[in-house]
Structure formats: C-alpha cells, structure tokens
Amino acid sequence: MKILVVSQPKTGNVWMRNLLARAYRLADLNEKYGDAIPETVPAFLEWIGDRDLPDGSIWHQHYFPKPELLEFARRQGLTLVTMLRNPYEAFVSFFFYVNRNPALFRGRPPEALLGREIGDPEVLEFLAGPYRLHLNMSAQWVESGASHLVRYEDLLADTAGELARLTDRIQPLDRERVAEAVDHCSAERTRKRGGWKARHIRAASARTWDQHLSDAHLAIFNDRYGDLIRRMGYEVVQAVA
C-alpha cells in the first residue's frame, strides 16, 4: 500500500496522514525525508526519478492534479486522498500557521502575512491574490475524480465513522484498528506527546472563522472566489455591507 494525502494547506493533511499511517501501520515519508520532498509536481517527479515509492508508506504534499502526477500514481499503485475544508476556516488557519512559523515563509508570498493583524490591507491583498492557488487546488481535486475526498468538518464531527468509511474504500480494516488510530491521533494525545505535531494544532475546530473575518474578507471571498467555493461544495457567505 502507498498513500499520498494531497490537498491545499491547512485542511487536515497532517491529521489524515497520521490517522492512515497508524491505522495501516505505514512508514511516514514526511518524517523520513522532511523538506527534501519537493513542493511542485515537476520537481517531485525529477527527485523520485526511476525509483519506486516503498510499499507500506504514506506522505502528504500540496500538489495540483497534474496529468503527470496522476499517471505516476497509476504506475505506482498510489492511493490518493484529498482533504477539503471550509475555505473561510482554512484561510484563518493558514494565517495563524504562517505567523506561528515565520521561518518557513520568509521570501515566499505568505511572508506578507507575517506580523500583521488579519484585517491588515496587506493580508487582504494576499487573500485577493496569491491565496487563489489554495482554493483552485481544492476545486481541481474535486473535479478530477482521481482522489478519495474527505471533508475536515465530517472528520471532526465523527472521526471514527469517517475514517472507517474511507478505509472501507481503500482497504477495509476492523473497527478496533480504526478506533485505536483515532485515539492515538486525537488532538489531546498529540498535544501531550509534544514536538512539532503538537505545535501544528491550533483550534482543532470547524467554526472559528466568524470570530476573525470581517465583511472586507467576505467580500473578497464572494467576489473573487464564489465560483471556486461552490465547486468545492461549500456555501458562499455574503458580507453584510
């Protein structure tokens, strides 16, 4: 078994990767290779070359469903899993993640978010411009039909049930194995173990965006991304003004 969790940032990728790694007893290639795994499809395919991915492995990355990636997945027998998340919530999570990890984003477009309030004009400009890539990635995976789709909100509401439904589609597991994976990967246990995975967790919530986003943010989502939000299967929230 080989699994790639492939989604836009801050949609529950690490959580899903950990759940599946624990449930299927897979080796975590992100832990093994870290930042050596390239962030674009062409660079990844060049990096992997003629090698086969190891059996019994999993990793996650933020790739678009390029034809060459889908062909690579077919040749390798790679199972693709994509996390989807409410776009408003994903943006808030991404904003706080960038500001908690500034070293990761120096010299890159999200640097515009660093050290700013979420309503700062520079943040709004980032939301209206570079952030489109995030939502476009999710919409393209939805429409590709090439990946198992899991909504973060569903996974949060019924983690064991949603994981069981996913594993039934991939390779069925007994429910005890599923329950053990859910318990091991819970936010509470992950925080207690410490390390970078504990720091990766912020709210573990499906609804905090309305505490942070203003009508200015909602207007951008509505005017620029309404089509993408609907293509992802989410509701567009109208600004009051």
Blockwise average pLDDT, block size 10, the chain, 241 residues:
97 95 96 91 94 94 97 97 97 96 94 97 98 97 98 96 97 95 82 52 68 96 96 89 57
The pLDDT of residue 206 is 63
- In DSSP terms, 185 is beta-bridged to none
HSE value, Cβ hemisphere, 13 Å, CA-based, for 199: 7
The pLDDT of residue 240 is 64
List domains and CATH numbers for the chain: 2-231 (3.40.50.300)
- In DSSP terms, 58 is beta-bridged to 3, 28
By the 8 A CB rule, do 79 and 2 touch? yes
By the 8 A CB rule, do 3 and 13 touch? no
The pLDDT of residue 23 is 97
The pLDDT of residue 239 is 74
* Cβ partners under 8 Å of residue 194, min gap 6: none
The pLDDT of residue 198 is 46
Residue 119 CB: number of other CB atoms within 10 A?
Answer: 12
Three-class HEC string of the chain? CEEEEECCCCCCHHHHHHHHHHHHCCEEHHHHHHHHCCCCHHHHHHHHCCCCCCCCEEEEECCCCCHHHHHHHHHHCEEEEEEECCHHHHHHHHHHHHHHCHHHCCCCHHHHHCCCCCCCHHHHHHHHCCCHHHHHHHHHHHHHCCCEEEEHHHHHHCHHHHHHHHHHHHCCCCHHHHHHHHHHCCHHHHHHHCHHHHHHCCCCCCCCHHHCCCHHHHHHHHHHHHHHHHHCCCCCCCCCC
Distance CA 65, CA 145 (A): 10
Three-class HEC string of 146-200? CCEEEEHHHHHHCHHHHHHHHHHHHCCCCHHHHHHHHHHCCHHHHHHHCHHHHHH
